[in-house]
């Protein structure tokens, strides 16, 4: 066994001596071309596309969760995750989602027709516009009454007149 290790060590030493100038670089047939850096022409450069994130459908998530639930021995879940290419954080978030969906399915559902939210919003907006129009008409009437009271006060010459000269400092 030691003879074989020494033979392997001797082979690596001879390989290291064969290319001492190459160092950690890979040796090529044309040593001069690999030593001189070449600048690529801008038109030769290519843009590398970004990889797409892997997305799992509901059926895939359910299948992986069922397989994970069947794992009982230590290390089985890790093997499953490596085989499927899934992180443990994804598995835990999928379990949370499944639990939330199960709880939502068990909750009592309101009977009858479902309310149309857009229609309810439209009705609320119409009601608010009507209220606004009513308030504007009341404001106009109140301003008209105030103007009449000012004019009557000025004509009668009462001490409560709203004259601008009397109230100035």
Q: Going residue by residue through the chain (169 aa), what tens digit of pLDDT does each one get?
A: 555 555 555 555 554 454 445 555 555 555 555 555 555 566 667 777 787 878 888 889 999 999 999 998 999 999 999 999 999 999 999 999 999 988 887 777 788 888 888 898 999 999 999 999 999 999 999 999 999 999 998 888 866 555 555 544 4
Per the structure, how many domains does the chain have? Answer: 2
Please name which of 66, 105, 106, 102 lies closest in space to residue 84, comparing C-alpha atoms.
66
What is the span of the domain harbouring residue 66? 58-106
Domain membership of residue 51 (yes or no) is: no
Q: Are residues 124 and 102 in the same domain?
A: no
Q: Are residues 136 and 100 in the same domain?
A: no
Q: Are residues 126 and 102 in the same domain?
A: no
Domain membership of residue 144 (yes or no) is: yes
Domain membership of residue 11 (yes or no) is: no
* 8 A C-beta contact, residue 93 and residue 101: no
* 8 A C-beta contact, residue 64 and residue 84: yes
Domain membership of residue 66 (yes or no) is: yes
Please state, in angstroms and rounded to a whole number, the distance separating the CA atoms of residues 67 and 70: 5
Domain membership of residue 13 (yes or no) is: no
For residue 136, with 0-12 CB atoms within 10 Å meaning exposed, 13-18 middle and 19 or more buried, which class applies?
A: exposed
Q: Are residues 102 and 69 in the same domain?
A: yes
Domain membership of residue 37 (yes or no) is: no
Domain membership of residue 25 (yes or no) is: no
Question: What's the pTM?
Answer: 0.38
pLDDT, one tens digit per residue, over 101-124 is: 888 877 777 888 888 888 989 999
Domain membership of residue 9 (yes or no) is: no
């Amino acid at each position: 066994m030691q003879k074989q290790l020494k033979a392997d060590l001797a082979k690596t030493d001879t390989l290291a001596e064969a290319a001492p100038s190459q160092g950690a670089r890979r040796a090529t047939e044309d040593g001069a071309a690999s030593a001189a850096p070449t600048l690529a022409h801008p038109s030769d450069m290519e843009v590398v596309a970004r990889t797409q994130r892997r997305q799992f459908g509901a059926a895939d998530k359910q299948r992986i969760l069922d397989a994970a639930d069947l794992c009982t021995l230590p290390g089985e879940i890790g093997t499953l995750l490596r085989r499927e290419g899934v992180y443990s954080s994804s598995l835990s978030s999928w379990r949370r989602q499944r639990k939330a969906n199960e709880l939502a399915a068990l909750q009592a559902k309101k009977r009858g027709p479902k309310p149309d939210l857009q229609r309810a919003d439209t009705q609320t907006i119409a009601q608010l516009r009507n209220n606004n129009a009513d308030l504007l008409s009341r404001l106009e009437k109140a301003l008209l009454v105030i103007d009449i009271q000012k004019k009557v006060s000025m004509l009668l010459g009462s001490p409560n007149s709203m004259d601008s000269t009397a109230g100035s400092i």
